[in-house]
Amino acid sequence: MKRAVFLDRDGVINRSIVRGGKPFPPASLEELEVLPGVAGALELLREAGFLNIVVTNQPDVRTGTQSKRVVEALHRRLLGSLALDDIRACFHVDEDGCECRKPKSGLLRQAAREHRIDLAGSYMVGDRWRDIAAGQGAGCRAFFIDYGYTERRPDPPYVVVGSLIEAARAIVAEATASSTMPEGSYR
């Protein structure tokens, strides 16, 4: 089975548009800005044997403030320019009660079935409590990029980092350490 790093999109891969202390997605291709260090972090993870899979809530499609066409164009650009293996998006709002909208872990579980991923050996990197809860619910170790948004904080356990590159280095170091442990050792 494979291992993966699941990544939120806005705030982890690309810059969020922050208004009133809350993050919002880019409204167009022109607003899409990949964060510094992301390309190198994704390459580092891929070289360490991880699949890089984006799992993102995009409820603006359901509410009509964003078109699915624009979201798909953003995803095509990211897939074409970064070491990403897949992008999974939920277009629902909480009231829809779907299993794919984070904080539920449906997007991660769908990807795990399709790509044959060991969730217990995988990681989630996000910048909002919903990301961390989805990763925890799937059995992944979670890394939280803390931008200090004015919203609910995640429930522990998680590791706080300042960026995707910081998370990637920690993930690779942890994965390398666990692969060199003698048989029968526990981490």
Active site residues: 8, 10
Contact in structure between 101 and 60 (CB atoms under 8 Å): no
Contact in structure between 143 and 125 (CB atoms under 8 Å): yes
Task: Report which residue type is found at 25.
Answer: P
Classify residue 104 by its DSSP letter. S
Angle at the Cα of 89 (from 113 to 104), degrees rounded to 5?
65
- Angle of helix 38-47 relative to helix 164-179, nearest 10 degrees, comes to 10
Kindly give the residue spans of alpha helices, DSSP state H, lying in the chain: 38-47, 60-63, 68-81, 106-115, 129-138, 164-179
Contact in structure between 152 and 120 (CB atoms under 8 Å): no
